[in-house]
Chain A
Amino acid sequence: MQLNVNGTVREVDAPEDMPLLWVLRDVLGLTGTKFGCGMAQCGACTVHLDGQATRSCVLPVSAVAGRMVTTIEGLSPDGSHPVQKAWVDADVVQCGYCQPGQIMSAAALVAQNPNPSDADIDAALAGNICRCGTYQRVREAVRKAAAQRRASR
């Protein structure tokens, strides 16, 4: 099976029902995408599928063929994506485990909605649980990232 992950076509040998999450982590060694619940409840496994934020823990790899997968490792080569920079600037992370998922959800939001309202931010990130409770700074960072993207256009 061929997979397009972070702009590179990879040949993978995996059962068709294996969720994309475990193909990324256990087959391709891309461990930035996290396992948190296994039932699309927590968002730790969020990746982009053709640019849309998608929970990879319940998505059979067979459904991904021919589509573009972007993981946290592919968001930018060096942490320079506006969302990542805003995250560092707002000092969002604590334990950090949920953060790749939060960032992928936020990046999809700001790509599609250059001026998200607070309600838009709440809706786009409601599926990403953070037990450390970084939510307040997540909101701040998303606003910063959106503003920065608008400014750079």
Chain B
Amino acid sequence: MTSLTRRQLLRGSLISGAGLFVAFHVPRKVRAAPQPPAKQPPNPNAFVRVAPDDSVTVLLAHSEMGQGIWTGLAMLIAEELDCDWSKIRVEHAPAAPVYAHPAFGMQMTGGSSSTWSEFDRYRTAGAMARAMLVRAAAAQWKTDARKLRTGNGYVVRGKDRLSYGQLAVAAQAQQPPRSVKLKDRKDWKLLGKPMRRLDSPEKVTGKAQFGMDVRFPGLRTALVARSPVFGGKVKSFDPSEAKSVKGVEQVVQVPTGVAVVASNFWSAKRGRDALLPRLEWDLGPGATLDSAAILQGYRDKAKSKGPGIAAQKGDAEVALAQAAKRVVAEYDVPYLAHAPMEPLNCAVKIDGGRCEIWTGTQFQTMDQMSAAKIAGVPPENVSIHTQFLGGGFGRRATPSSDFVSEAVQVAKAAGVPVKTVWTREDDIQGGFYRPLFVHHVEVGLDGKGRPVAWKHTIVGQSILAGTPFEQFMVKDGVDATSVEGVTDSPYLETVPARLVTVHSPKQPVPVLWWRSVGNTHTAFAMESMIDELAHASGRDPLEFRAGLLAEKPRHLRALKAAAEMAGWGKAPGSGRARGLAVHESFGSIIAQVAEVSVDGDKEIHVHKVACAVDCGTAINPLGIEAQVQGAIAFGLSAVLHSELTLKDGRVEQSNFHDYRVLRLPDMPEVSVRVLESDAKMGGIGEPATAPISAAVANAVYALTKQRLRSLPLRLAVA
């Protein structure tokens, strides 16, 4: 239950001419960078607008990028407001401090946090609006508000009823209640029910507007020629050929390269093609980068303890030396691009001391600050019109606001409104990758096959180094995102002697969070290693895990559910085998069983995935199922196909023909079971991506007895 005091309101309710507009504001504790959610309870500040036409508009403090909050957060408000679900409209909120993330203190979308972080304030917003409508009805009927009830968009007294639309204007004058009592879970009508998406109609007709689709008179399109090598700088260029292309208006230098500004995309593309041979770069030290050499260097480093101590108990070295059996393994994962289907883009208009931005972003506050600095205006004069995101996966959440900053630079240099658009090649080769990582793991087992020593060395670039998040999330040389999934592993808790260390080498390659972040590699290493230990002890992988997780009822339940769904223990079809993995991330526990086969060309096929989910209270089971299916598909791209390599400083892949991702024929049949749970709500956008790599690798081992420790998984061709 949440209560709000009147003092916490932002000048009571904001009155809009169109009706009731409930706005809660909160003490201005907007921090410059995120803090762990536990330190501060979520701040209730949400918006809902009830209009005379009975429509109820929900303003989203977070960005819709496919994860379904357009529907899920609206459900939170609708549940408490008792409105007519068919009258709900949703809009992205503008960029403003009031929309700061309740736990992270800035307006953003990420960390699989939108639903749990808004659970209280969105429901509270709905309850506040309902109370004000009820008070308006009570005033009109000259009765006691306590005698009235609400349902489906009406305030009701016996046979009399008034629609929310009829009450919207009068409700503006009502005092917001001192506090509201939220519904008991048993009284929920919407929450926990499978609800179809509210954004489907516009997305199946082509009407949904993404950043790429923004058009207005005078808006130009720009493509930027960027250095072919990370860190390179423009030395010189001759714009004459580019300018001779019909439709090209300007060729301007910006900090990241040279922008060709044209009346349309095709002219900008032709212009950039004409410019490239006449553009000289000072490439700098990035020109020698080679991902094979980086991998070898990391493997060498992983042999020795890293400078960052992430977890330590007992003496792992001594325990290893005394163990009955030692298992040593090394795992590695490559650089990966996010490759959202909508290439990056950002439209900017700088005019009259204001900067207006139209884009799909996960990081409004950061973008607002960055744009303000570049445009030379105060942050409050930067408006961000958030559009639907054609996929995010982390790429549209850059601490440096890379693509927004660049677009503001282009518009500033050109002096006209410009939409800067990336091609797919720009996206694949433009950096901000999931970093390449190596895990070196040594485990000692006792005579009964139980782990008694665990030495784990992780090598990879810090995502947060050099960003504003560093001060909060990098401690004593340990970037929390490099080690999450290892240091908090429930397996490790049971090991009496353990040491987890990390090396965070610097590279000129820009890196970033990629759906499920550190768990993309830590779950692969941990759940592969646990499988190796099970086999080394001659135990069934399910039984071995269950033994280690005996004190973790949620893990155990998920594991058993997935095993039961998959028919673990019963023989799969001929030529097939199953693998298991369980991993907790973003507060949710995911267990998966993958069923695989291998064809004559040694290609791995994943046929089925059984997935049990414990994400705490489930708001929209239909949305959860979609996120789990999608997260598994996203993970499978990296398990089976995707790899980004560098040679002579150049990224070797450029588009979907050589940066391969999962296609429809590769999609397994994913069955999802959402486990009933009263546990604290976790996230659902990312967690199911993490364990799929190990589930598949473990299945491949069960089938072939080949232990694959590198992603993407590739069997040796005889």
Contact = CB atoms under 8 A, between A and B. Distances in A.
Interface of A: 15, 18-19, 22, 25-27, 29-39, 41-42, 44, 71-73, 75-76, 78-79, 84, 87-89, 91-100, 103, 121-123, 125-139
Given A25-B213, A73-B206, A76-B205, 15 more contacts: A15-B246, A26-B266, A31-B206, A36-B342, A37-B656, A78-B205, A88-B200, A93-B66, A95-B340, A96-B390, A129-B341, A131-B338, A131-B341, A133-B634, A139-B667
Contacts of B292: none
A27 B213 contact: no
29 contacts: A15-B266, A25-B213, A26-B264, A31-B213, A35-B265, A35-B343, A36-B341, A41-B657, A79-B201, A84-B205, A88-B196, A92-B204, A93-B203, A93-B204, A95-B390, A96-B202, A96-B388, A97-B341, A98-B390, A99-B204, A128-B664, A130-B664, A131-B391, A131-B661, A132-B66, A133-B634, A136-B629, A138-B664, A139-B667
Main secondary structure of the interface of A (DSSP, over half): loop
Contacts of A30: 206
Contacts of B392: 95
A1 B637 CA distance: 42
Closest 7 CB pairs of A and B: A32-B206, A133-B633, A97-B390, A95-B66, A94-B66, A96-B203, A72-B206
A41 B716 CA distance: 28
A38 B423 CA distance: 8
B630 A134 contact: yes
Contacts of B203: 93, 96, 99
B626 A36 contact: no
A91 B264 CA distance: 34
Contacts of B663: 126-127, 129, 135
A123 to B, nearest CB: 8
A132 B391 contact: yes
Contact of B665 (A34, A88, A122): A122
A89 B425 CA distance: 35
Contacts of A38: 423-425, 655
B266 A133 contact: no
Nearest to B203: A96
Contact of A95 (B65, B202, B246): B65
Interface residues of B, number: 62
Contacts of B637: 131
B266 A18 contact: yes
B210 interface: yes
A15 B271 CA distance: 14
Contacts of B630: 94, 132-134
B539 interface: no
B195 to A, nearest CB: 9
Interface of B: 64-68, 196-197, 199-210, 212-213, 215, 221, 246, 264-266, 338-343, 388-393, 423-425, 622, 626, 629-634, 637, 655-657, 661-665, 667, 669-670
B669 A136 contact: yes
B657 A39 contact: yes
B644 to A, nearest CB: 15
Nearest to A80: B205
A40 to B, nearest CB: 10
A153 to B, nearest CB: 22
Of the listed residues B212, B246, B667, the one surrounded by the most CB atoms of chain A closer than 10 A to its CB is: B667
Contacts of B221: 26
Contact of B205 (A25, A32, A121): A32
B611 to A, nearest CB: 12
Nearest to A102: B664
Nearest to B67: A94
A34 to B, nearest CB: 7
Nearest to A99: B203
A33 B207 CA distance: 10
A103 B202 CA distance: 13
Contact of B342 (A25, A41, A95): A95
Contact of A103 (B204, B208, B215): B204
A22 B265 contact: yes
Given A22-B264, A26-B266, A129 B197 contact: no
Nearest to B688: A133
Contacts of B662: 133, 135
Contacts of B424: 36-39, 41-42
Contacts of B338: 131
A9 to B, nearest CB: 21
Contacts of B209: 31
Contact of B655 (A41, A76, A127): A41
B177 to A, nearest CB: 36
B200 A87 contact: yes
B264 A126 contact: no
A26 B65 CA distance: 24
A141 B67 CA distance: 19
B499 to A, nearest CB: 37
A135 B68 contact: no
Given A31-B206, A32-B205, A100-B206, A137 B664 contact: no
Given A36-B424, A131-B339, A87 B664 contact: no
Contacts of A26: 221, 264-266
Contacts of A91: 196-197, 200, 622, 626
A136 B667 contact: yes
Contacts of B339: 131
A79 B204 contact: yes
B393 A131 contact: yes
A34 B390 CA distance: 10
A20 to B, nearest CB: 11
A79 B391 contact: no
A71 B205 CA distance: 10
B664 A126 contact: yes
Given A44-B341, A91-B200, A131-B340, A137 B629 contact: yes
Of listed B206, B265, B632, residue having the most chain A CB within 10 A = B206
Contacts of B667: 133, 135-136, 139
